[in-house]
Amino acid sequence: MAETGSRVTREQKVQMARKALEDANAGRFSADGWAQDAVFRSPLLGEVKGREAIIAALKRQRDAFEEFSQEAHAVLADDDHVVALVNVNARSKGQDVKAQQVIVIHTTDRGQIKEFWSMSDTDALKKIGR
């Protein structure tokens, strides 16, 4: 995370996004990367508002699967956005599912997530009953 008041670089945003995915795969979720009033939108969780509510929802999502991991294929950033192309591997009800996911994030100057959108392969999600 950048020091208070300093603007993070594009490369720092890419590194932060990759680390966040690695941490999530390990079951570690930190509120530090989220703005207090962040909004999260995904086909699995719907719309969730607020940093603490988002962290709780992400933990519930992870616990709902026997296995769930995300591997960044590419992460791109500009001054206001981060876009990640992600391969998802999940196991639910004994069924393995592989899916593609696109994550689009609006960030604050300090690199915190302000808005998060996840778009996933809906056919793959149907296979696991979500």
- Give dist(CA 38, CA 26) in Å, integer: 22
- Residue for token pair 């086909």: 43
Full-model pTM? 0.86
Mean pLDDT of the chain: 89
User: Residue 44's pLDDT is what?
Assistant: 83
pLDDT class for 102, splitting at 50, 70, 90?
A: very high
pLDDT class for 121, splitting at 50, 70, 90?
A: confident
Rounded to an integer, the average pLDDT of 65-80 is 92
Phi, psi (deg, nearest 5) at residue 60: -65, -40
